[in-house]
Amino acid sequence: MLYRASLISTTAVTAATGVHHVFRLGLPTLIPALIVVALPIASLALYASRGKRLALYGYLAVTALAVVWFGVIDGFLDHVLKAIGIVNLTFLPGGDEPVVPTVYSLWSPPATALFYESTGVLTAIASVPAVYFAWRLYREATGNTTSP
């Protein structure tokens, strides 16, 4: 159950990130996006089947990277703050623009901006359970049940 919850939440972060960046930057980012989605799945599957700690640490590292870079820096500090009307705090290219240009567009500019900003917000939101379940998985797998 814990493996599944952790994997689902991490996959939600990486998939939302993939959709978000492919929509903005185009198809050249599809391969890196698929790799970022596949890495945690493969490493957790390897850990679950063989019990290799290195695979668990790889899974946790990819989860941490996705959460910090895409969930906090890009998702929260750029898109969530922008959505609630606060000046964003990132150094990301285009982050300071009210409407970021994207490769693809939907039926209207507002719909395109809403979709793009929403996938960024979704990445930030999905990061919360990803951190929680990854932490619980780490504690269970290592037998470390002491609180931080």
Residue range 25-83, pLDDT digits in tens: 888 888 988 998 898 888 888 888 887 788 888 889 989 988 988 888 888 887 787 77
Torsion of CA 117, 123, 129, 133, to 10 degrees: 180
- How sure is the predictor about 97, in pLDDT bands with cuts at 50, 70 and 90? low
User: How many whole angstroms separate alpha carbon 20 and alpha carbon 102?
Assistant: 10
Confidence of residue 93 (pLDDT cuts 50, 70, 90): low
Please indicate, yes or no, whether the overall pTM of this predicted structure exceeds 0.85.
Answer: no
Residue 42 identity (one-letter amino acid): A
Q: Please count the residues of the chain.
A: 148
pLDDT score, position 128: 92
In 10 A of CB 98, how many CB atoms? 6
Structure confidence by residue, pLDDT tens digits, 100-116: 666 556 777 667 777 77
